[in-house]
Structures are given as C-alpha cells and as structure tokens.
Amino acid sequence: MKLPNWAGRAWLRDPLTHFLLAGFLVFAFFQLRGEPVDPASRTIEVTREQQAQLAVQWEQTMQRPPTDAELDLLTEQWIREEVLYREALRLGLDVDDAVIRRRLVQKMDFIAASQAETAVASDADLEAWLKAHPERFSSDPRYTLDQLWFEQESSAQAALAQLRGGADWKQLGERISLPPSLADTNRIALAGQFGQDFAKRLDALEPGTQWQGPVPSGFGYHLVRLTSRSAGKVPPLAEIREAVAADWRANTGKERQEEAYQLLRDAYTIKGLK
C-alpha cells in the first residue's frame, strides 16, 4: 500500500497516531461485535470461551489443566466476582476510587511506554547517541603477547639479561598455570587472568619485538613481549545500527513517554492554579 506523502512521514511515527489507530480498531471491533454485556443486566452468561479462558489461566499457574471439579469451582468464583463487580458499578463504587484511578493511569503509562519502545530513531538521533556514549559500543582493546613468570624480581632480571644475550625464551621462566602466550585477547579476559593492575601496566608499554619488564602482578614478576595492542575502536553506525537503536530506545523511553504525556496535557486547560 502506498501512503500519501503529506508532510513527511513524521506523523507515522507519532505515538498519538499509533494510539488513535489502535483505539479505532478496538472500537470498530466492539461495534461489529454488537453491544457488550450491560452491567445493569442481571443475566450472566457463562460461555464456553469464558470457561476456556479460566482453564488457561489456571494452567499457566499450575502447569496442568484443571479437573472438572476445579473448573466448576473456578467458574463459581468467576460468577461471584462478576455479580459483585456489576453490583459495585451499579452503586457507582468505581467513581472517586483512588486505586481504580491509579490503575487506569498505570494502564495509560503502560501504553505510552510500549509505544516508546517501538519508536524508531532517525540516523541523526542515532549518530548523536553514538557520539554521546562511545564507550558502550567500542570494541575492547586486544592484546597479543608472550610472557614469562618469576616469583622473585631478581630471577626475572637475570632472565632478561639472558634473553638479551639471545637465549631461547621457551627455556626460561618458572612454572605457573598462566598462559605463556595470549593471541588477540580482550581486556576483560586479560584482566581476569592477570589482574587489573597488570593490564594497566601493559597499557604503558610500547608494543614491539623486545622483551620488557619485569612487570609486577599479583602473582610475582613477568617478562613481557607485547607484540601488539589494538586500541578499542568505535565502529561506524552502519555496522552497529541495531545495537545503537536498542540502546537508544531503552534509555530514552522515559523522555518519549513524557513527550507523549505533554501532547495530551497541552490539550487541557488547567484552571485554578496560580
């Protein structure tokens, strides 16, 4: 279906449009279905559909269908509620009731919140969001390195001298269950295994082919050959559009809910306020 291009398509994304459209559909549904039950009526019709609904609710809680006796009881409870509900409406108990008022307000808020969640952001919105929160989308820095561990700093110094003299690094180092080599490992994994302090110290080293150190960690002392350290990069929007949109939607829902309220609020005249 081709929609007329009136004034841009902004109205298509307007929560109010969605609301009115949904409301119209529901209204049409009830019109076509005929008059709903009049609460003033003293006839209560228990349909098969009604009973099926009760059975489904029961099953959702109990994880099994109700027995016939249980269904009879549920139906009786439902009739009791319906009778009291209608009598309450007859007495006008729904008027000026703070709980009912609050419940209806909640439902409106809920509608607005749901609309906010389906809102679609423009590219400009998302670019701005990405710019404001780059840390949420940047890839972790990654490290490629070899390391040797020593309990004492002096042993590490001695080994460093040997390495500079051309010794084979695989013959050096003391035994520990830390990996001797890390290939393209992200910062979380590096810090998890070697500690935050060690990861921070690596950020101060220049990558290269030389052995450096000793670098202290919670375990002792390390000689490190840091082959590469890639900085954390923020990918362009095109590559991570979905993630940015999800984050934008989740974190700006409240604002848009407020905007939707303001739209309604503006249609009201408030008197008596100074």
Partner 1 sequence: MESRKLRMGLLLAAVATLASCNALDGGPDAAARGDGTDTIAVTEYPERVLFGDTHLHTDNSVDAFGFGVRLGPEEALRFASGEKVTSTTGVEAQLARPLDFLLIADHSDGLGATRRLYDAPRMLIQDDTLLRWYDMMHESPEQSQMAVAEMINRAANGTLPASMTDQAANEEASRDIWTAHLKTIDRFNKPGKFTALAGFEYTLMPGGNNLHRVVMFRDGNDRTSQVIPFPGLGDGPVDRLWDYMDGYEKKTGGKALAIPHNSNLSNGLMFEMTESGGAPMSADYARRRAAREPVVEATQIKGDSESHPFLSPNDEFAGYGDVGWELGNLPLTADKNNTMFAGEYMREALKRGLSIEERTGANPYRFGLIGSTDSHTGLATADEDNFFGKHTGNEPNAERVNEGQNLGTRQGRFGWHYLAGGYAAVWARGNTRAEIFDAFARREVYATTGPRMTVRVFGGFDFAENAFEGDWVRAGYTKGVPMGGVLEENGKAPSFMISALKDPMGANLDRVQVVKGWTGRDGKAQEQVYDVVWSDMEARAKSGGKVPAVGDTVDRAKATYENSIGAAELQTVWTDPDYQPGQNAFYYVRVLEIPTPRWVLYDAVQFGLKLSDEIMANAVAQERAYTSPIWVQPKG
Give the residues lining the site for partner 1 (CB under 8 A). Answer: 18-19, 22-23, 25-27, 29-30, 36, 38-40, 60-64, 89-90, 94, 98-99, 102, 104, 107-108, 110-111, 114-115, 117-119, 151, 175-178, 188-189, 191-198, 217-220, 242-243, 246, 249-250
Q: How far is the CB of 178 from partner 1 (least distance, A)?
A: 7
Dihedrals phi, psi of 187, to nearest 5 degrees: -65, -35
**Based on CB atoms, which residue is closest to partner 1, 62 or 164?**
62
Q: How far is the CB of 42 from partner 1 (least distance, A)?
A: 13
**Based on CB atoms, which residue is closest to partner 1, 62 or 158?**
62
Q: How far is the CB of 176 from partner 1 (least distance, A)?
A: 5
The length of the chain in residues reads 274
Give the whole-angstrom CA distance, residue 258 versus residue 219: 53
Within its chain, how far is the Cα of 76 from the centroid?
A: 42
Q: How far is the CB of 164 from partner 1 (least distance, A)?
A: 26
Residue type at position 244: V
Q: How far is the CB of 95 from partner 1 (least distance, A)?
A: 9
**Based on CB atoms, which residue is closest to partner 1, 19 or 261?**
19
Q: How far is the CB of 152 from partner 1 (least distance, A)?
A: 11
Q: How far is the CB of 245 from partner 1 (least distance, A)?
A: 9
**Based on CB atoms, which residue is closest to partner 1, 45 or 206?**
45
Token couple for 66: 């109700």
Cβ atoms 127, 237 nearer than 8 A: yes
**Based on CB atoms, which residue is closest to partner 1, 212 or 217?**
217
Give the whole-angstrom CA distance, residue 143 versus residue 183: 7
**Based on CB atoms, which residue is closest to partner 1, 163 or 182?**
182
Cβ atoms 112, 261 nearer than 8 A: yes
Q: How far is the CB of 151 from partner 1 (least distance, A)?
A: 7
Residue 204: which residues within 8 A CB-CB, separation 6 or more?
A: none
**Based on CB atoms, which residue is closest to partner 1, 53 or 114?**
114
**Based on CB atoms, which residue is closest to partner 1, 38 or 266?**
38
Cβ atoms 202, 224 nearer than 8 A: yes
Residue 224: which residues within 8 A CB-CB, separation 6 or more?
A: 145, 146, 147, 202, 205, 211, 212, 213, 215
Q: Residue 145's beta-bridge partner residues?
A: 182, 226
Cβ atoms 188, 232 nearer than 8 A: no
- H/E segment holding residue 226: strand 221-230
Cβ atoms 233, 140 nearer than 8 A: no
